Amino acid sequence: MRLDFLRGERLPNIWCPGCGNGIVLHALLEAIDQLQLDPDKVVLVSGIGCSSRAPAYTAFDNVHTLHGRAIPVATGIKLANLDLTVIVVTGDGDSSAIGGNHLIHAARRDVNITVVVFNNYNYGMTGGQASPLTPISSITTTTPNGNLDRPFDLVKLAAGAGATYVARSGIYFTKHLVDHLRKAIAHDGFSLVDAVAQCPTYFGRFNKKGSAGQMVTSQKDWMVLKSVAEKKTPEELAGKIIIGEFVNIERHAPVSAAAPKEQA
Amino acid sequence: MRLDFLRGERLPNIWCPGCGNGIVLHALLEAIDQLQLDPDKVVLVSGIGCSSRAPAYTAFDNVHTLHGRAIPVATGIKLANLDLTVIVVTGDGDSSAIGGNHLIHAARRDVNITVVVFNNYNYGMTGGQASPLTPISSITTTTPNGNLDRPFDLVKLAAGAGATYVARSGIYFTKHLVDHLRKAIAHDGFSLVDAVAQCPTYFGRFNKKGSAGQMVTSQKDWMVLKSVAEKKTPEELAGKIIIGEFVNIERHAPVSAAAPKEQA
Amino acid sequence: MPEKKTFKITHNRKWCKNCGICVAVCPKKVFKIDRNDRHAIVNPQDCIGCQMCVEHCPDFALAVEEVKNE
Amino acid sequence: MPEKKTFKITHNRKWCKNCGICVAVCPKKVFKIDRNDRHAIVNPQDCIGCQMCVEHCPDFALAVEEVKNE
Amino acid sequence: MSEKMVLMQGNEAVTEGAIAAGVRFYAGYPITPSTEIAEIMAKRMPQVGGTFIQMEDEIASIMAIVGASMAGKKVLTATSGPGFSLMQEGLGYACMVEAPIVILDSMRYGPSTGMATKVSQMDLMQTRWGTHGDHWVIVLSPSSVEESYQLTIRAVNLAEKYRNPVIVLSDETISHLREPIDTSISPTIVDRRLPTEKAGYLPYKTDESLVPTIANVGTGFRTSFTGLVHSESGFQTANGHVAEALVERLRDKLFNNLDDIIQFETDRVEDADILFMSFGITARGVSEAVESLRSHGRKAGSLRFITLFPFDDDRVRKAAGNGRTIVVPELNSGQLVLLVKRVFGDSRKVVPMNKINGDLISPQEILSFLREENL
Amino acid sequence: MSEKMVLMQGNEAVTEGAIAAGVRFYAGYPITPSTEIAEIMAKRMPQVGGTFIQMEDEIASIMAIVGASMAGKKVLTATSGPGFSLMQEGLGYACMVEAPIVILDSMRYGPSTGMATKVSQMDLMQTRWGTHGDHWVIVLSPSSVEESYQLTIRAVNLAEKYRNPVIVLSDETISHLREPIDTSISPTIVDRRLPTEKAGYLPYKTDESLVPTIANVGTGFRTSFTGLVHSESGFQTANGHVAEALVERLRDKLFNNLDDIIQFETDRVEDADILFMSFGITARGVSEAVESLRSHGRKAGSLRFITLFPFDDDRVRKAAGNGRTIVVPELNSGQLVLLVKRVFGDSRKVVPMNKINGDLISPQEILSFLREENL
Amino acid sequence: MSNDNRFELRMTGSGGQGLILGSIILAEAAIMEGKIVTQSQVYGAEARGGTTKAELVISNKHIAYPKVTDPDLLAAMTNEGLKQYGGGISRKTEVIIDSSVMSAPDFLDEENCRGLLALPIRSTLISRLESELGLNIVLLGIIEGLTAIVEVEILRKAIAMHVKKQFLNLNMKALDLGMEMVEAQAKTGIRI
Amino acid sequence: MSNDNRFELRMTGSGGQGLILGSIILAEAAIMEGKIVTQSQVYGAEARGGTTKAELVISNKHIAYPKVTDPDLLAAMTNEGLKQYGGGISRKTEVIIDSSVMSAPDFLDEENCRGLLALPIRSTLISRLESELGLNIVLLGIIEGLTAIVEVEILRKAIAMHVKKQFLNLNMKALDLGMEMVEAQAKTGIRI
Ligand SMILES: Cc1ncc(C[n+]2csc(CCOP(=O)(O)OP(=O)(O)O)c2C)c(N)n1
Ligand SMILES: Cc1ncc(C[n+]2csc(CCOP(=O)(O)OP(=O)(O)O)c2C)c(N)n1
Ligand code: SF4
Ligand code: SF4
Ligand code: SF4
Ligand code: SF4
Ligand code: SF4
Ligand code: SF4
Ligand SMILES: [Mg+2]
Ligand SMILES: [Mg+2]
């Protein structure tokens, strides 16, 4: 990772000790570096949330927008200047709660931007409320007795909306994460990476996930590579999250190409 | 259909001659009749659009809300009084453009309401603009050179968001439509029916689809029953819309049960 | 061979918008839209009571009932 | 058997938040969090340059470079 | 002080007030500095047999409480500036369908995301004019934790009585302040009037109160609601006369009852030659400043707006006594002062005092201000 | 009149004005009565090398134009009341990041969905106070098709010059009215100032103009934008002094230039003893009424607000002459009149004249009103 | 044209009759002659397929109030149209109705209008030109015949700008037909 | 307590030290004695894990202005805390610092505060109770020792309402420790 992609003068960052956001940011900067993009032509756009503070630590043009609204701003920037690489940095709440509509519409339009979801399964910024990605039964400040609502599967949601590149990774698997971020950015069309990170301060603490270090290394235990998962039975996969590339199709291909089997 | 489900004093309706909305409404009332629901306990909630005027012609409690906002109002009503059968009447624009976020979140929560999308592939009320369901290349007033954006596949979108009952039908196939509306209402959990109807005034006229009668009967030509489609090749299905039941699973089943194959 | 059933077609002129859908869907050409762009019942005797017209009329303007001749 | 490589570990105390993630991910137990809850490099000589600590440090506080001894 | 006093945070007092008033449905979306209201409601609603739902955003939140209100529940949502901006379309809808709802807006520093954890009073005018179209809302402004409790009860009561949205305009300081409050006194509760006769039922037909007796959905009355201009039947019409009558009634149902709705708190206004007009948290610095001025022989007085809207020029004029100079301290660039100026024109000296750095106006600052301005 | 006159609808004039002013990006969502603007832009933008995009809603629309503006485009969106309510959060954001954007709001009858195809002037105060937090916008109000063209150009210029949102407040009647306009005169075009030196670049540092010279994204300056309170560097801070300075600058960059921004049209104000104050379409009925009153020997005059906000009491006072009576006709329950009352207090007789049935105020109605009110 | 130089026209009928286009064509002709115009119409969902109204004000000088308040001419092409938008006329107003689709309304007399001209517009169009298209242009012909508000040749130019080539001829004939009907009105029309 | 019956306390330190809870406990004790209190704190994202401030006003009568403007007591548990929230003190203010984590700041003297009490709070807690928990309660003990603002027994009751059973004993000892430290301050503390 090129250190000059960071605004050193603004560090240390505001994140809590052990917050996963820095790890995703690190991977993102590494992916940008690997692609050898002209840093003058990279724009990071974010919403509101802990994760959405990430762009302001980078040396690129960066736009911290409103809660949930990074994607339409990114769409405006991209359409106004097609030379730019526009990357949206967003949280699970920012992208899938208040910003859910923009997410599915960007996927549908196949606008050539990349959305990186810093997914910590809760609203970190406001103190650990449930997000649409919070697993069932998890404790948050707004689900004191355990979450009753089912979460979205962000991969399915994006795919269902027509995204042409969708991947999921976790911060433990840094190479995997960088690879998929790189492919997503390079993808010609709408791309999304669900990057699972930890919020030790709230989600971790409320759900007894241990220290930040434990939250990082435990990803080994509950994440399964897609290639591995394909050889496993549903029982073996119970409670596991599968990581890898789920959709990678040509831009503006007939929608049926991405059609889940059961629906066509 | 029980005629006393209609408010005769408010007819004729405001719809254009040959508008498909009346046919969907007819089918919906028939489905409600078949289920022998207590009419005092049925509430129809709609957004804004030609289609969203339908509830006000019925003799049930009915709530004409804001553009895109029928689903959260319906959610509030349902959660406030679980005894009620709450049905959302909405347009393709109302449900999938401005109201897209509420749609996916209601599907995710599996709130026990039924969403009936009167899908005429455009914004009728405001004069025939493109909607998120307008097919590629179609002419509308905001796509004078043909629509460039891909449409959503509403079935995939709802399934991707976690809906536990999703079906599609067309106004030509009235029995099929009534059957699926009935099943959707009876379904314990979130249900959605994509009911394809005609807007002869705008979408039909701009895209040379012929008279209202032709638009109705031509559904025979470009709609294929799911059971039939399963025996066809992708080539044979090109340009066709498949109708039938796409998702019908237990409420709050583990999400993986609805997982498109390619994603798990 | 069963006796041929007969049907009574009720048309509500106040609600009808003369859109022609019933004309298009009726398998027996019972209706037409006349020269004044008005809905007309032209072959009621051919009606087989299939309800296609009723179910497809967007304006709730049609009813078709079997005439029981006891 | 190839010569054992040696690595220089740079730790930026100003940015480090002593979160312990490097401790958890390092396969060689190079770091620990000391009694004052402070990050400490305890076994630098064991470092194999795998970069796990660098890539997982959320605060950009670590760098590990091979020391070329020509 | 008694055994019954409990230390409570402002946000908690709102939830307890709401529950005491009968609120049994809360929909919301977290936002600083109102978040604790959602968090406490998540715990409390199930305990009292109510429903808590966290919605996908603030638009959904206000629409969900409108729906629940139509179904007969007393309802609340809470938010802050950015979320309140998103609720504006829904707020107008609630005015139009006459759904009783209560919205708490805890003001933080704006514009935009501004400073989420700092106090301001910058949303005052937005409560009145945020949504499009002619409409009227009731806006109440607490200045303490105790009053957060009391005014939330009052807000629910007024919403039900007038079938109108009521906004409780709080702020970051009050939201997070802890003070002892007495919750043991059982409050007066007002319930919406419901129709009894199905025959001839017209949901928007009113008696002289001008407040409609609309049935709750699901009770067999088969009501039609719409945000479009509608006649007494509840059905849409484009008739200009009906439109005019409807909008006028929406105003008059409140303006005919200003005595019931409008409350001020006054302190030694009668003989004051310097009068402070303020609302909310700012009034507490004022109160101490007045005390101090009086103790130094200066005839100071205070008028605190408990009800901010409807704002009635005549009542303000009457309540204001004859003080030559009116000082209007507020945590914004001048909003309340615009209203006060309208009331008094050139007949009094109206002096704005504004602070927009995210802190409160202290009594000392008020005293210095008077000195600097030679007041 | 010349060969160059073309019959144009108000909405079309807006699009042609925008294109003449250099607008090359339009994002919007259809809504009556502004829909034709989107429809025409869908055709026209590709013809002039610009971009048209229909977004999923009005929130996305305003955010998309903010993004495109940051990337250097001149931008427009158009909407009406319900959509304008949804845009409020984004509007505050544009104020805070100082993105030049132009929003057209064509007023229809409210509140809520109201009567979509009927005219009103009910969104006036919303343009000023719709979003939360202290903020300032420029609001221009055309009263004809010709002026829809001219003021759209002016709106784009002012937005670029002051890096501030500008609202063109039109209405259903003007939107759909057709009048001949002359588009052959090439308009003056203002472009935003851009920085030249990368060294020491601070996006929000300003010279005495108080308007920042922010680089367009993608031009190598690596700017940071945020809706949070930010220092000259563009980065967030919770420093109260910085906050205060920022909000004051947002005000002063406009208020130091009121001569440039504020325009009235006056007609025989000097000797008028009855003065009409109005804006937009209502001013045209006024104009004919004044003519008629003068022809009957009555000293009538008119002040029409072309710029509605910033609203400067002093300038209004000066422009108003000495007429004893001021009549304020408007298509709402009284909004402009509140501002006028603030300016004149009890020093003049300020008489509201309101019409809220979805029709215009005709000259005849004004004359009858004067008779009925004994004015 | 009334003495104050302002000519006010209101046309009402049903959605598909092209009255709005007719008013635009006349407006453009007036502009070509250097006149000022304001054209407006009822708008929107409520009017879909239903009753419509088009208004035009023509003047030699600046037009302040843009709507018709006291029409010089009211043309009603359907009963519904006359019912909905027939109000607001005065003794200054000449009323035209299409007697082939409606009968002369009894509420109109010398007291409240200047005159009523009942012409069988639609039927004449169908019988003479064997077309249903061009009703709005026949009406323009009638208006032109009655008022000579613009030069006929300029009116033709304006029509040509708005109709497809293949229908140009038909529309010119329609215009002529309208003017003829006025000329012949003493014989065929009813005028009160 | 100052003569106007109003006692103002400000505590500052780092996020995890429990100062806000400490202020709430003291507030509740005061309420039990029939006093009026207002308790507040800095709030929010910016303060996460970082520096914090808790304020308490206690009075026998209605408290109008709810924030501390002229503290009677300022307790700073970290250097950062003192730097950020040490302003606004006066000659009325008694300052307490934890000398085990910070040195006596040179900007404090008789000119700008009433006195400075430097006590090795954290280190004493660790050495005497072998715990890192209870720092806030030790501080409460010190405050109580200095001001006797509430009855000790009531303070104990308030503490008991807020701590888990298994830590109750430890916290009571922490309170005692704080009070002891004040008693012993002539010997162990530095007071300017
Ligand atoms: C309109 C609006 N509503 C609510 C908020 C408050 N808010 C700020 S961030 C946030 C959630 C952040 O969660 P997520 O996107 O998951 O980011 P994280 O902090 O977890 O990284 C919320 C609710 C806001 N700023 N604006
Ligand atoms: C906030 C808001 N934006 C826009 C509109 C304008 N509008 C009304 S209906 C509609 C689209 C309707 O399309 P659809 O939902 O497909 O219904 P249809 O008329 O086709 O049945 C739009 C854009 C509105 N009423 N409110
Ligand atoms: S609250 Fe959670 S997401 Fe936010 S900075 Fe702390 S650990 Fe990270
Ligand atoms: S515009 Fe289209 S959708 Fe609307 S009523 Fe007419 S035909 Fe139906
Ligand atoms: S389908 Fe119905 S409305 Fe249409 S012509 Fe037939 S009867 Fe009339
Ligand atoms: S019931 Fe069937 S056969 Fe009879 S008229 Fe209707 S469509 Fe024709
Ligand atoms: S991972 Fe980084 S921040 Fe955490 S302890 Fe190690 S060096 Fe410090
Ligand atoms: S590079 Fe690898 S071995 Fe070396 S310190 Fe880091 S994690 Fe440990
Ligand atoms: Mg999150
Ligand atoms: Mg539609």
What phi, psi does B55 have (nearest 5°)?
-55, -35
CB atoms within 10 A of CB A3: 10
In this structure, which topology does domain F265-372 adopt according to CATH?
Answer: Rossmann fold (3.40.50)
**Range(s) for CATH 3.40.50.970 in chain F?**
5-182
Strand ranges, E, within chain F:
5-9, 23-28, 51-54, 74-79, 102-109, 115-119, 138-140, 166-171, 178-182, 224-226, 264-267, 274-279, 300-305, 307-309, 325-330, 349-354
Of F133, F345, F356, the CB nearest to E243: F356
Structural domain that includes position G74: 6-186
Q: Which tokens go with G24?
A: 């635009």
* Residues within 6 Å of ligand 7 by CB: D 11, 16-22, 39, 57, 59, 61-62
The atom of ligand 5 lying closest to the CA of C53 is 1
pLDDT digits (tens, 9 = 90+) for F13-67: 999 999 999 999 999 999 999 999 999 999 999 999 999 999 999 999 999 999 9
Give the confidence band of G4 by pLDDT, cuts at 50, 70, 90.
Answer: low
- Give all chains having 3 or more CB-to-CB distances under 8 Å with chain G: B, F
pLDDT digits (tens, 9 = 90+) for E283-293: 999 999 999 99
pLDDT of residue C2: 63
The confidence band for B259, taking pLDDT boundaries of 50, 70 and 90, is very low
Is the model's pLDDT at B260 over the cut of 60?
Answer: no
Is A71 within the bounds of a domain? yes
pLDDT score for H5? 84
Which residues of chain H lie closer than 8 angstroms to E267, CB-CB?
none
Q: Which residues line ligand 8 (CB under 6 A)?
A: D 7, 9, 25-28, 30, 47-53, 64
Q: Whose CA is nearest to atom 1 of ligand 4?
A: B124
Whether residue B83 has pLDDT greater than 90: yes
> Per-residue pLDDT averaged across G57-81, rounded?
94
pLDDT band for H47, please (50, 70, 90 cuts). Answer: very low
**Could you tell me the residue range of the domain that residue B183 belongs to?**
3-248
3-state helix, strand, coil in chain C (%, to 5): 20, 25, 55
Is A100 touching ligand 1 by the criterion CB < 6 Å?
no
pLDDT at G90: 87
Q: In whole angstroms, give the CA distance from residue G162 to residue E230.
A: 39
Indicate the pLDDT class of residue G3, thresholds 50, 70 and 90: very low
User: Which residues face B122 on adjacent strands?
Assistant: B130
- Rounded CA gap, H190 and H192, in Å? 7
B262 inside domain: no
The reported pLDDT for the residue numbered H2 is: 42
The ligand 8 atom nearest the CA atom of D51 = 1
Q: Is residue A264 part of a domain?
A: no
In this model, does residue G189 exceed pLDDT 70? Answer: no
Nearest residue in chain B measured CA to CA from C32: B213
The mean pLDDT of chain E is 97
Please give the average per-residue pLDDT across H79-84, as a whole number. 89
By CB atoms closer than 10 A (0-12, 13-18, 19+), residue B209 is middle
Residue B174 lies in a domain: yes
Number of domains composing chain H: 1
Residue B63 lies in a domain: yes
Which one of 3.40.50.720, 3.20.20.70, 3.40.50.970, 1.20.272.10 gives the CATH number of domain F5-182?
Answer: 3.40.50.970
Looking at residue H48, its pLDDT comes to 57
Task: Give, for ligand 2, the residue of B14, B45, B51, B94 to mutate: max count of ligand atoms closer than 8 Å to Cβ.
Answer: B94
Neighbours of B139 (CB within 10 A): 20
Classify D50 as helix, strand or coil.
coil
DSSP helix/strand/coil, F50: coil
* Mean pLDDT of all residues in F97-114: 98
pLDDT digits (tens, 9 = 90+) for A55-109: 999 999 999 999 999 999 999 999 999 999 999 999 999 999 999 999 999 999 9
Above 90 in pLDDT, residue G88? no
Q: Return the structure tokens found at F321.
A: 């002459």
How many Å is the Cα radius of gyration of chain B?
17
Give residue-wise pLDDT tens across range F329-375.
999 999 999 999 999 988 899 999 999 999 999 999 999 999 999 99
Q: How many C-beta atoms surround the C-beta of residue H186 within 10 A? A: 8
One-letter amino acid for residue F286 of the chain: V
Determine the pLDDT at residue H16.
Answer: 83
Mind telling me how many Å the CA of F91 is from chain A's nearest CA? 11
Nearest to H103 by CA among H76, H131, H125, H137: H76
User: pLDDT band at residue B263, thresholds of 50, 70 and 90?
Assistant: very low
The 10s digit of each residue's pLDDT in H99-148 is 999 887 777 777 788 888 999 999 999 999 998 889 999 999 999 999 99
Total residues found in chain G within this entry: 192
State mean pLDDT over B32-54: 98
**Exposed/middle/buried for F337, CB within 10 Å: 0-12, 13-18, 19+?**
buried
E360 touches chain H (CB under 8 A): yes
**pLDDT at res. F150:** 97
Q: What b/e readout covers H131-157, taking b as 16+ CB neighbours within 10 angstroms? A: eeebbbbbbbbbbbbbbebbeeeebbe
Centre of ligand 1 from the C-alpha of residue H143, in Å: 39
Three-state SS string over chain E comes to CCCCEEEEEHHHHHHHHHHHHCEEEEEECCCCCCHHHHHHHHHHHHHCCCEEEECCCHHHHHHHHHHHHHCCCEEEEEECHHHHHHCHHHHHHHHHHCCCCEEEEEEEECCCCEEEEEECCCCHHHHHHCCCCCCCCEEECCCCHHHHHHHHHHHHHHHHHHCCCEEEEEEHHHHHCEEEEECCCCCCCCCCCCCCCCCCCCCCCCCCCCCCCCCCCCCCCCCEEECECECCCCCECCCHHHHHHHHHHHHHHHHCCHHHHCCEEEECCCCCCEEEEEECCHHHHHHHHHHHHHHCCCCEEEEEECEEECCCHHHHHHHCCCCCEEEEEECCCCCHHHHHHHHHCCCCEEEEEECCCCCCCCHHHHHHHHHHCCC
Please tell me the distance in Å from E54's CA to the nearest CA on chain A.
8
CA distance A84 to A112: 10
Report how far residue G180's alpha carbon sits from residue G158's, in angstroms, rounded to the nearest whole number. Answer: 19
G167-175 long-range CB contacts below 8 Å, 24 or more apart?
G167/G133, G167/G134, G170/G129, G170/G131, G170/G133, G170/G134, G171/G134, G171/G137, G173/G129, G173/G134, G174/G125, G174/G129, G174/G131, G174/G134, G174/G135, G174/G137, G174/G138, G174/G141, G175/G137, G175/G138, G175/G140, G175/G141, G175/G144
Residue of A6, A20, A211 with shortest CB distance to D58? A20
Indicate the pLDDT class of residue B106, thresholds 50, 70 and 90: very high
Q: What is the pLDDT confidence band of residue E277, given thresholds at 50, 70 and 90?
A: very high
Distance of CA A46 to the CA centre of its chain: 12
The pLDDT of residue A260 is 29
Over 60: is that where the pLDDT of B261 sits?
Answer: no
Q: State yes or no: pLDDT of G47 exceeds 50.
A: no
Of B67, B195, B56, B174, residue with least CA distance to B123: B67
Residues of chain F with CATH 3.40.50.920: 265-372
d(CA F54, CA B134): 12
Among partner residues F65, F72, F222, which is closest to A59 by beta-carbon distance? F222
Q: In the structure encoding, which two tokens stand for residue B160, read together?
A: 């991707």
Q: What ipTM was predicted for this assembly?
A: 0.96
pLDDT tier at E3 (50, 70, 90 boundaries)?
low
CB-CB contact of E321 with E269 (8 Å):
yes
pTM of the shown model: 0.96
CA geometry: angle E5, E10, E12, nearest 5 deg: 75
- What pLDDT does B252 receive? 65
Average pLDDT for chain F: 97
Q: Is the pLDDT of residue G128 over 50?
A: yes
Determine whether the interchain pair G49/B16 forms a contact, defined as Cβ–Cβ distance below 8 Å: yes
User: What are F258-285's pLDDT values in tens digits?
Assistant: 999 999 999 999 999 999 999 999 999 9
Residue with tokens 């009932």: C65
DSSP conformation class of A126: T
pLDDT at A254 over 50: no
Question: Looking at residue F3, what is its pLDDT?
Answer: 60
Question: Residues within 5 Å of ion ligand 10 by Cβ?
Answer: B 91-92, 120
CB F34 within 8 A of CB F78: yes
Instruction: Check: CB of residue C12 under 8 Å from CB of residue C62.
Output: yes
Q: What is the mean pLDDT of residues E136-151?
A: 98
At residue F182, does pLDDT exceed 70?
yes
Query: Count of CB contacts below 8 A, A vs F?
Result: 121
Domain assignment of residue B80, yes or no? yes
Distance F355 CA to ligand 8 centre (A): 77
Burial class (CB in 10 A: 0-12, 13-18, 19+), E258: middle
CATH of the domain at H122: 3.40.920.10
By C-alpha distance, the chain A residue nearest D14 is A12
Mean pLDDT value of segment A30-40: 98
Determine the distance from the C-alpha atom of residue E327 to the mean position of all C-alpha atoms in its chain, rounded to a whole number.
Answer: 23
- Answer whether residue A200 is part of any domain: yes
pLDDT of G191 > 90? The answer is no
A87: in domain: yes
* pLDDT higher than 50, residue A261: no
Please compute the mean of the pLDDT values over residues E194-206 and round it to a whole number.
97
Q: How far apart, in whole angstroms, are the C-alpha atoms of residue A192 and residue A115?
A: 5
Number of domains in chain B: 1
Which of B12, B20, B213 lies closest to C14 in CB terms? Answer: B12
In this structure, is residue G1 part of a structural domain? no
Confidence at residue B253, expressed as pLDDT on a 0 to 100 scale = 46
Percent of chain F clearing pLDDT 70 (strictly above): 99
pLDDT-derived band at C3 (thresholds 50, 70, 90) equals confident
Q: What is the pLDDT of residue H192?
A: 56
How confident is the model over F148-164, as a mean pLDDT?
98
Higher pLDDT, C1 or B91: B91
Nearest ligand, measured from the Cα of B91: 2
DSSP string computed for F259-322: HHH--EEEES-TT-SEEEEEETTHHHHHHHHHHHHHHTT--EEEEEESEEES--HHHHHHHTTT
Q: What is the pLDDT of residues G173-188, one digit of tens each?
A: 999 999 999 998 765 5
Q: ∠ CA E331-E334-E338 to the nearest 5 degrees?
A: 135
Band (pLDDT 50/70/90 cuts) for residue C70 is low
Q: What is the pLDDT of residues A154-186, one digit of tens each?
A: 999 999 999 999 999 999 999 999 999 999 999
pLDDT mean over B112-141: 97
Contact G118, G104 (CB under 8 A): yes
* pLDDT score at B111: 96
- Pairing relation of β-strands B223-225 and B241-248? parallel
Q: Is the pLDDT of residue G46 over 50?
A: no
- Contact A144/E43, CB-based, under 8 Å? yes
Structure tokens at F226: 């945020």
pLDDT of A114 above 60: yes
**Cα(B181) to centroid of ligand 4, in Å?**
22
